[in-house]
Structure 1
């Protein structure tokens, strides 16, 4: 019996080629998107899945709050917190401490190779499952200046993996290779080329910029992961962490730092935290949005199948009537039509695999971040999920037509009695409205999102970025490079800075004014005296840095208006604030200038208290103002100047405007994804509408012939045939536009403090595009039907 169902299904598919092709195309395109989303979500849930003790590993995260300021949730924690947990918190079997920032040039004989890595405590390999190929996991990170390399790094440095006992020099210090481990899996939130014993960092006590190395508030560079004992209740451990936080916070006034546990498995699905140790996936909300969009695209293709199947009711009703007259029961008719839908869906799945391979390549090339985060590889389990999805899609698409045909009255059909299709016609109209509502939401979302993205790039940041090239110094002397660049006619001016503003890079510390108990967090940047003029910052009062005054010791600071507002400095008057003294991380610095508020971070956040501190050698970046319009030639000359001072490191130089584009790259990638889904949704809906118009016009040919004989013009016939569809599209627009507007205003743009209002043109442009496509689809078929010779249509009546 089952074989007969499939045999009849294939015969019907070959008999109705246009119907089959339309549905296979729509389902294969939509399912390829579903396959891509499923593999993406599978990757996000597979993050860190390779650790054997993953169920007992927790990351210690930090909540930091200054006074009445909003809480800051960080993925990092302090060294002191890690030490205190290890010594005092019951239930912790082991703890791994990590610290960012180790790296530089690995010197081996006369060869220099740039590397980056992490400081890690000796229990690192007891907590995490990173198998060692050489060395003892219990002692590899125990002694100071011990180094563990990944297999790939060992081969890059020495050309082989057997490197135990070999020495590598970083700056003036020599490190010994004590272990070689397998390369870090891509689906790990911790990525590194090498690990250095944490005991090395404790000896060196590297400058943190945020207080003493072992201070409770030193929370921006260090990470702690705890391994709990078997069957240990994490809530009991959390209670101990609360007590520890309360004890340590007792010595602080107006600041509260609390610790909490985050399960390893929640790192990819939990809230987005500040200061992550590595690249992060989409957050849980974005994951649901992508899954929802994929579901809508697949549902749209299912609607096509349902609409076209019911539209063919007049053709297939007699077939069903005959089946019932020779003994077929409702269940057999029901299973026959569901089988046909499943066959179409499985055929579509075959084509969707080919489309998936193409989409996967295109998605991974959208951004380097996507290639770093996702594998998008198929597994037996995923292939099984895909097959199950195809069967489910077939059932969803075929259930309504199957129910409809199974209820047909055989006697009425064979007597040519009119079928009661009013309910089903209304249902088809509802499906068309829903389908085009989704399409309009997609395309309008894409247009609005793109316009917002362009407005972010053109937003007034409070300073100039035009023709500024930011060069990463990579440990080189800024003075040497300045001297080289000064000889180039394309270089107008040069400044130095520790970080680049407005890209999301954060560097801060606490500041105080008159009340020692009242402190606040302020964002900072170390700059030289050329920085403010080069970036065209606007002074509200005061002057630039005096290099002579800061020659021996730092004594001056330049602030933005938010600092005055926070502490009521000079009654918030920039002129009166000059000469006032701020306590910046224990240093007394005099305010010599107040600049107009500018965007230190991205446009997602409010402008907060920000200070600029002086340093003749910040050690981060060289900011180069180019006065030439021939940028490729300018870059070539700067490349040559770089080569004169550094023949080892490649030049890392990017124009400021390009860096700002990169800062919003994730937003643009999301727009591209939604835009692609919008294209698919509209394409599927348009193909479905085309099929509906074809079947609708075929059923009304005789009516059109009679009207034409009675004197109706072609324009009248086109109007009669198309007005119903255009009214449905108008209803879809009336639903889609308010939904899209509310979604952007109250969900998407709510996360961006500085955004442009949504214009009426953005909303209507999407409607215009969809209406134009629909008119082309409808017009081509209705014009053809209206031009039919009525004699050819009515001669058999």
Structure 2
């Protein structure tokens, strides 16, 4: 019986080639889109699933509150929090801290010299916290003493080849460190990707007081809770923990924080609002949006199938009548039509699977992932796909099957098909639903794309283009000003500055003390020289810039941003001039740098537009400088780089020449939005194509049913334009109805998504007009071509048909 059903199904596919092509291609594209998105989403959900006891491991972050009402979350916290939680709460089984080095470090082993990043100081428990497998060394003894280092398998191979690395020596910071462990490289789906750990004992020995301080937020800290611990109840205890331990140090000075815990498995997708993070970040909203897109595309394809099948039902009613007369049961007819639907879904699955295989390499290249191809070689995945395909086939074919099989033989054979007008209403409703979904996707695509463009192009308050950053290394620091002048001695270099703290990079968060109110203010701090403001193109709104004509500027002058001036109580920037502030010097914590504000700069963004503008203070402090920045001409950049490299080699032969452009920092910050915008536009285009494919099929069918009507109208004098309009207007009306229904839904969804951005586009009527015009144009083209073709048909051919 099944073989017979399949045989009839294939014959019907071959008999109705156009409709078969429309159904199969629409379903194949939808399945391919669904598969690609599903594989991407599945990959994103795998982060940290490999970690043993991951359901008991958490990252601690701080929620910071300031007197001026600002609230922000920080991924880095003070060093005492981990060990103190272990001491005070029996629920904590273990803790591990990691302090990241924010710049590359020179490694030496024999004649080999390379700069390495992705490393820092770590507690021994860090190895177990991330379930790192040791290739060499002992988990019980690694990283327990000063001058010890654990390195990845890649670094071990790089510096020591095939011989054992444990027991060997690596020179780091010009000091010898003993290799005590070699661990397998962090798995791809780990939210941390690190290459080496120096022992935390180094910091505990050299700066013990600072390691006990509750105000130095520089550590990523993880804890493991004991079996059976209620994480929500434990988190609720942390406010009291902070009040007892940290607030006496921080709250009286204008700010305080409350620690919270986040499951390790959620860090990749749900920590995007935490500042100063080094995790490999995804975005939960991206997952939600793409998942909804995949479902929408699949629903549109199913609706296409239902529409076309019910529309074509009239062509098969005689078949149904004859089969019922000769004894066929309705259930047999239903099985027949559903099996045909499953056949179409199966063929679409094969084509969609091949399309997925072709698309995956490009997706991996674009997203930086390694999603494996060969989906049909995975037995479990094949089973899931076959079951899913059968379900899709049944879902798509069930209604047409019940609809077609419901005709009565007498009604069919007497050529009376009354009572089916309600099916036309349903078919039109399905078309409306298709275009509602398409409209939602288009609006979402426009909003995501325009928000991304807005973030990339909005004035950040400084010049980020054509600025090159070079780190200070070796003997460059002997005479900083002389080194800067030598590098800047080239006609293509327009400006140069020394500093610690550039937009998009690490900067200090010490803050300053207001000498009037005696309160500490939580600010972003930039350590700069006399040329910083000019080189980066900051705008002075009050006072003056640092100047070598005022030698005392190095010792007692500060410049603040407008937001910082407001924190000091000055709405008018000019009123902030001469305001006295002070700062705890890094070189001598017991010594204060006291001075006055000499200038106020216009607010500018240190981070991406996902974050509100931070209040900023700038002052001259050569001991903190870490890099040079050069404003360059946009012409002949290779010659400029050649000059910088040649100058670099004169100063330092140990470190390789490395540089980057300032705008690259922001390219990285907006990478998630760029990926989402591109992927969303890509899949939305598929959704629109599938919807219009179905619309095309309906128009082909409806015009084929009205050829005689069209011919009679032409004979009576109707011109082509009137005929095209007559054939198109009903579909255009359906599209208008879809617009009206979709506008409030899409507006609400867009506003909700944009709420997470402090700086965002306005959702104006133009967005909806553009979306409406786009769908209208595509639909008119789809309907118009076929309608025009029908209108141009020779009426004689249609009227002589019986």
Is TM more than 0.5 here?
yes
- Which stretches in structure 1 are left out of the alignment for 5+ residues? none
Q: Which residue is equivalent to 1:533?
A: 534
Pick which of 662-671 and 613-622 moved more: 613-622
Cα shift readout 1:343-367 (whole Å, capped 9, x = no counterpart)? 211221112222222332222333x
Q: Which residue is equivalent to 2:427?
A: 428
CA distance in 2, matches of 1:335, 1:588: 87
The Cα shift of 1:80 comes to 0.6
CA distance in 2, matches of 1:154, 1:480: 39
Residue 113, structure 1, aligned to residue 114, structure 2 = yes
Structure 1 residues 120, 19: closer, same or farther in 2, change over 3 A? same
Cα shift readout 1:405-464 (whole Å, capped 9, x = no counterpart)? 132222211221124332221112122222223223333433444334333333222233
Cα shift readout 1:672-693 (whole Å, capped 9, x = no counterpart)? 1111012101111121111111
CA distance in 2, matches of 1:383, 1:275: 42
The Cα shift of 1:105 comes to 0.8
Structure 1 residues 465, 689: closer, same or farther in 2, change over 3 A? same
CA distance in 2, matches of 1:508, 1:75: 14
| Equivalent residues of 1:470, 1:621 under 8 A apart | yes
The Cα shift of 1:186 comes to 0.5
Residue 248, structure 1, aligned to residue 245, structure 2 = yes
The Cα shift of 1:718 comes to 1.6
Q: Which residue is equivalent to 2:315?
A: 315
| Equivalent residues of 1:34, 1:294 under 8 A apart | yes
Residue 302, structure 1, aligned to residue 302, structure 2 = yes
Cα shift readout 1:34-80 (whole Å, capped 9, x = no counterpart)? 11222222222221111222222222222221225233222332211
CA distance in 2, matches of 1:375, 1:526: 47
The Cα shift of 1:8 comes to 2.5
Q: Which residue is equivalent to 1:721?
A: 727
Q: Which residue is equivalent to 2:179?
A: 177
CA distance in 1, matches of 2:228, 2:761: 52
| Equivalent residues of 1:106, 1:112 under 8 A apart | yes
The Cα shift of 1:794 comes to 2.1
Q: Which residue is equivalent to 1:613?
A: 619
The Cα shift of 1:132 comes to 0.6
Pick which of 534-543 and 680-689 moved more: 534-543
Q: SS at the partner of 1:602?
A: coil
Structure 1 residues 442, 532: closer, same or farther in 2, change over 3 A? same
Task: Report 1:64-463 matches (<5 A).
Answer: 64-101=64-101, 104-116=105-117, 117-160=119-162, 162-205=164-207, 212-219=210-217, 221-235=218-232, 237-238=234-235, 241-251=238-248, 252-253=251-252, 254-275=254-275, 277-366=277-366, 370-371=367-368, 380-463=379-462
Cα shift readout 1:283-320 (whole Å, capped 9, x = no counterpart)? 33332121001111111111111111111111112122
| Equivalent residues of 2:74, 2:277 under 8 A apart | no
CA distance in 2, matches of 1:266, 1:616: 40
Cα shift readout 1:455-509 (whole Å, capped 9, x = no counterpart)? 33332222333433333446764657534433322112211232322x3756423
The Cα shift of 1:792 comes to 1.8
The Cα shift of 1:175 comes to 0.5
Task: Report 1:332-731 matches (<5 A).
Answer: 332-366=332-366, 370-371=367-368, 380-473=379-472, 477=477, 479=481, 482-501=484-503, 503=504, 507-514=508-515, 518-546=519-547, 554-569=555-570, 572-585=571-584, 587-616=593-622, 618-645=624-651, 651-731=657-737
Structure 1 residues 11, 205: closer, same or farther in 2, change over 3 A? farther
The Cα shift of 1:545 comes to 2.3
Q: SS at the partner of 2:510?
A: strand
Structure 1 residues 547, 161: closer, same or farther in 2, change over 3 A? farther
The Cα shift of 1:633 comes to 4.0
Cα shift readout 1:651-702 (whole Å, capped 9, x = no counterpart)? 5444444544443232222111111012101111121111111111111112
CA distance in 2, matches of 1:11, 1:498: 74
CA distance in 2, matches of 1:31, 1:403: 24
| Equivalent residues of 1:269, 1:284 under 8 A apart | yes
CA distance in 2, matches of 1:792, 1:264: 72
| Equivalent residues of 1:528, 1:617 under 8 A apart | no
Equivalent position to 2:787, from 777, 782, 785 = 782
Cα shift readout 1:759-790 (whole Å, capped 9, x = no counterpart)? 54443233323222222222222122122222
Pick which of 539-548 and 151-160 moved more: 539-548
The Cα shift of 1:154 comes to 0.5
CA distance in 1, matches of 2:652, 2:394: 65
| Equivalent residues of 1:462, 1:599 under 8 A apart | yes
Structure 1 residues 741, 58: closer, same or farther in 2, change over 3 A? closer
Q: SS at the partner of 1:196?
A: strand
Q: SS at the partner of 2:61?
A: strand
CA distance in 2, matches of 1:405, 1:517: 83
Report the count of equivalent residues.
785
The Cα shift of 1:538 comes to 2.2
Cα shift readout 1:131-151 (whole Å, capped 9, x = no counterpart)? 111111111121112111111
| Equivalent residues of 1:490, 1:627 under 8 A apart | yes
Task: Report 1:10-21 matches (<5 A).
Answer: 10-21=10-21
Q: TM-score normalised to the size of structure 2?
A: 0.91
CA distance in 1, matches of 2:545, 2:717: 86
Q: SS at the partner of 1:312?
A: helix
Structure 1 residues 217, 329: closer, same or farther in 2, change over 3 A? farther
Cα shift readout 1:201-248 (whole Å, capped 9, x = no counterpart)? 222439xxxx933211222x2122222233344356445544422211
Cα shift readout 1:109-139 (whole Å, capped 9, x = no counterpart)? 2321111313221223343311111111111
CA distance in 1, matches of 2:279, 2:32: 26
| Equivalent residues of 1:100, 1:277 under 8 A apart | no
CA distance in 1, matches of 2:9, 2:703: 26
Q: SS at the partner of 1:751?
A: coil
Structure 1 residues 719, 509: closer, same or farther in 2, change over 3 A? same
Q: SS at the partner of 1:558?
A: strand
Task: Report 1:43-62 matches (<5 A).
Answer: 43-62=43-62
CA distance in 1, matches of 2:721, 2:329: 47
| Equivalent residues of 1:94, 1:126 under 8 A apart | no
CA distance in 1, matches of 2:189, 2:610: 28
CA distance in 1, matches of 2:33, 2:653: 46
CA distance in 1, matches of 2:387, 2:105: 50
Cα shift readout 1:575-601 (whole Å, capped 9, x = no counterpart)? 332222123356434212111222233
Pick which of 490-499 and 617-626 moved more: 617-626
CA distance in 2, matches of 1:161, 1:276: 38
Q: SS at the partner of 1:69?
A: coil
The Cα shift of 1:192 comes to 0.6
Q: TM-score normalised to the size of structure 1?
A: 0.92
Residue 770, structure 1, aligned to residue 753, structure 2 = no
The Cα shift of 1:193 comes to 0.8
